[in-house]
Amino acid sequence: MIRKTHLSTSERLLCLFTEVKPGEGATALMMFANVFLILLAYYFIKPLREGWIAVSDVEGLSKMEVKAYSSFAQSIILLFIVGWYARLADRWDRATLFTRATLFCISNMVIFWFLQPNFFFDNLPLSGIVYYLWVGMFGVFVVAQFWTFCADVYTDERGKRMLPFIAIGATSGAAAGSWIVDLLVSSGAVPTEALLLVATAPLFVSILLLRIVERREDHRGRAAEAAAPDEESATEAEPEQASIWNGAKLVLLSRFLLLAALVTIFTNWVNTNGENLLFRVIQETLSVQAQEQGIADGAAMLEFTRDGTTAFYGNFYFWVNIMALLLQAFVASRLLKYGGFAAILLILPVIALTSYTVMALLPVLAVIKVMKIAENATDYSLNNTSRHVLWLPVSSAMKFRGKPAIDTLYVRLGDGFAAVTVLVGVHLLALTTGAFFVFNVFLVLCWLVAGVLLVREHRRASATVS
């Protein structure tokens, strides 16, 4: 056992959050700061996405339809982006990959800053939709790649101790970014069109921090560790290389995986429906406010809608991330310990059932905002934990072949059903906002049934392992 006197002052401070050994503190703090900066930048970019698409009209489509169909198109494109990114990862070392991918995204941000509506140009057709699709790519190229780098750095038991601490940096960065965007836009200190340029600064610093971490790490120790389990890697490589479509077939042959797929579909279907409806109510509310303030001019209306949407989502994401941080830090582990897998899996549909019932009865923006904050915060924290715990008792074949299919095809299938819901609900049934919420209540009930059945299968799998 290492004596406390061997720890630096910063490492003693980190012991408040996790177990730290001598020499680990500096890297952990830099990784914490790195992901903080990345999520800070991301939440400058993300609210702007909602504001821009709010002024990207497509003839014959409502604003909610434009957002819903763009979300589905983003999901399809991401399937190809992820595959392309994986090939880049095979060609470049991790530091080069991170640096080039981040610089590529920074260059894109400068281009989009230049193309923003009523800045250098009028509102270019489909530019908001293109930006919406690009934000999904940013999530792969910058946000997801950090966690891949992190998992590569912490290849031994250090990861179990340090990753939960680093994850707090991600949630804190998201909350800080949301708060700063809300503050800057609401106060007028920084114009909305400047947010993209401001967001480039933390990304440049994140590149610097990552390269410092890369130099600090002892590659020889990790290389020796990676070289040891050659046989095990070979046995696991084959399932992992199996195509997503083979994984989809496996899902249909396993009751456990089939139920996991159904829960995944309902989770994303319900949540995406809720996001689309929130967006619809925001646009309706802003339209009423514009009329009350006598804003009728096209350019003024465009600016009012964009700034209002961006400010709303900056504040909304702030509270979602603050609540998610609190739930992850103080509730997740305790709920899992005392309530078991059933409690942590079923708490999100229970909250969703309550939320959408209230929203169906009171479909006004203030109520919808509070209910969606509760739903999204639970999804980002407790439900995210349940997604990891779900796979602990199953075989390697099910993990490496079934899980990739569920995490891609079935997640995107949920988004696709949400787009179809908008198409049918708007054009064929002409549903009101309240009726859409009632439909979501029905979906949540189906989700709960699938969740209960999945809990039973999880118990059987756990009993078999025991």
Task: Point out the domain boundary residue: 197, 228, 259.
Answer: 228
Task: Point out the domain boundary residue: 175, 209, 228.
Answer: 228
- What's the domain range around 249? 234-466
| Domain shared by 328 and 452, yes or no | yes
Better pLDDT: 243 or 445: 445
pLDDT band of residue 199 (cuts 50, 70, 90) is very high
Whether the predicted pLDDT of 178 surpasses 60: yes
Whether the predicted pLDDT of 246 surpasses 60: no
CA distance 6 to 12: 10
| Domain shared by 214 and 246, yes or no | no
Half-sphere exposure of 328 toward its Cβ, with a 13 Å CA cutoff? 24
Cβ–Cβ < 8 Å for 180, 45: no
Residue 18, both tokens: 């996790």
| Domain shared by 224 and 317, yes or no | no
Looking at the structure of the chain, the number of domains it has is: 2
| Domain shared by 54 and 197, yes or no | yes
Domain with 138 in it: what CATH number?
A: 1.20.1250.20
Q: What are the φ and ψ backbone dihedral angles of 462, each rounded to 5 degrees?
A: -65, -40
Q: Kindly give, in sequence order, each residue whose CB lies less than 8 Å from that of residue 303, ignoring residues fewer than 6 positions away.
A: 118
pLDDT computed for residue 221 by the predictor: 47
| Domain shared by 279 and 222, yes or no | no
Task: Point out the domain boundary residue: 228, 247, 277.
Answer: 228
pLDDT band of residue 303 (cuts 50, 70, 90) is confident
Whether the predicted pLDDT of 242 surpasses 50: no
| Domain shared by 107 and 148, yes or no | yes
5 in a domain, yes or no? no
Average pLDDT estimate for 156-181: 77
pLDDT computed for residue 415 by the predictor: 85
pLDDT computed for residue 104 by the predictor: 93
Whether the predicted pLDDT of 363 surpasses 60: yes
Q: What are the φ and ψ backbone dihedral angles of 422, each rounded to 5 degrees?
A: -65, -45
Better pLDDT: 77 or 268: 268
51 in a domain, yes or no? yes
User: pLDDT tens-digit profile of 253-271?
Assistant: 789 989 999 999 999 999 9
333 in a domain, yes or no? yes
3 in a domain, yes or no? no
- Other Cβ atoms closer than 10 A to 134: 20
